[in-house]
Amino acid sequence: MKTAEVKKLLLSPEIPDLDEVSEALDKQTEKLQISTLNWKGYDYKPDVKFAIAYSDREIFLKYYITEDYFKAEKTEPNQMVCEDSCVEFFIDPSNKGEYYNFEFNHQATI
């Protein structure tokens, strides 16, 4: 298993807007490569990196993905985004094997 040191993000306002958070993640954090392919029978592997940081109140996560194609059909909350191209984030705050799984797809803007 790989580990990463997660840094505290330095932000000016107490509640920063999304653009400021995105820019701070770009400038203040290391982009970490995801290079493991867990699905047998699927050899397609997009280039996936992410940045992660925290503040006193939040965890910030940004994915950087380059791929030949993607599927983004699910547009409503709690739909099965696992059927789209998606990313996941697992966190176990208690360190007891009881985790939360956040799964996100890409909402294209046309």
- What digits encode the pLDDT tens for the residues 82-100? 899 888 899 998 999 999 9
CB of 82 closer than 8 Å to CB of 95: no
Q: What is the pLDDT of residues 22-60, one digit of tens each?
A: 999 999 999 999 888 777 888 888 899 999 999 988 999
Integer Cα distance of 41 and 18 in angstroms? 37
Integer Cα distance of 53 and 45 in angstroms? 25
Average pLDDT over residues 48-73: 91
Integer Cα distance of 69 and 80 in angstroms? 19
Which amino acid belongs to residue 29? T
**pLDDT, position 110:** 38
User: Strand (E) positions, the chain?
Assistant: 7-8, 32-34, 47-54, 59-66, 86-91, 100-105
Q: How many CB atoms lie within 10 A of CB 60?
A: 19
Whose structure tokens read 């007891």?
A: 96
Smallest CA-to-CA distance from 25 within 55, 2, 56 is with 55
